[in-house]
Amino acid sequence: MTARVAHRHIDVDGVDVFYRESMPDRPDAPVLLLLHGFPSASHQFRRLIDAIGTRYRLIAPDYPGFGQTQAPEGFSYSFDRLADIVEGFVDRVGLTRFTMYLFDFGAPVGFRLALRRPEWVAGLIVQNGNVYAEGLSDTARAFIALTPEAPGAEQTILNLFTLDSTRAQYEGGTVDPELVAPEGWLLDQFFLDQPGRRQAQLALAYDYHSNVAAYPDWQAWLREQRPPTLITWGVNDPFFTAAGAKAYLRDLPDAALHLFDTGHFALEDHLPQIAPLIARFLDDTYLGTTIEPSKTEAPGTASRS
């Protein structure tokens, strides 16, 4: 069976937020808030929602500046403001306790929520969502260091918004690019090319340094709160290295870590391996099951449970 999925809009402080959510039969189904990355939107989770949305309530908003969400003219794009809108969204749809899926930009958005509203967080699923300095590749460090005043900085960032770059983020690091559906990166590019979107992304790129500055606070929150955590990571990510995945274990020694031989968008070619891990984690977190972590990994993966 595949999930029934609703596609909706809701106003949050003048922002028309688009979101999709699965509609499981159980009203008390565990809730998973899916926080997408750059340059994508909630559509990056469509196959995951289809796969496990019959058993769990998966809910995925598009941030301002992404996907089908529409922000008013003059909206100030920063990671704090993205978190403001997602926090308002959670309030508007009535979520009170949930697991967060943190991918890429979803990590800085999600950890801002966690510090503001720790009572919301039942658990974390982290997929290539970095919050450790050692997880930043040289490419990522150089990109984060760009400032509006630096010669050529704006063009360097704008080069990331091209079709070739968007496609490379999906296919780069994969063992078999034929497993990556082209509509993902084509749809991302469609939204990147909409009026005003490049300026929004440019502003967020210049603001990324605020996330690195907050890493110590987010790590302290992990040590203090010790949320149940599942980490899945594509080790060939050109931005966030496997060292960033392993660093979580310093603050969360009981976390389950699974490394996959793929790139940034690990769900694109490893959904059959990752979806069961997510389902087992949600069952264990919400239902109190005692399922042992899997000791069997797909070829080219490694685990630390």
Q: Sort residue 173 into left (φ over 0), alpha (ψ -120 to 50) or beta.
A: left
What are the structure tokens assigned to 180, written together?
């990556």
Residues 6+ apart with CB under 8 A from 220: none
Q: SS in 3 state form for 212-241?
A: HHHHHHHHHHHHHHCCCEEEEEECCCCCEC
Distances (CA, A) of 169 to 39, 174, 186, 240, 282: 9, 10, 12, 12, 28
What are the structure tokens assigned to 194, written together?
């909409």
Among 137, 195, 192, which residue's Cα sits nearest to residue 165?
A: 192
- The H or E element containing residue 166 is helix 163-171
Show which residues are catalytic: 264
Tokens 């899997």 found at: 294
Tokens 């069976």 found at: 1
Residues 6+ apart with CB under 8 A from 264: 37, 104, 128, 169, 170, 172, 173, 234, 237, 238, 239, 240
What are the structure tokens assigned to 210, written together?
């605020």
Distance CA 247, CA 131 (A): 9
- The H or E element containing residue 27 is none
CB 136 within 8 A of CB 244: yes
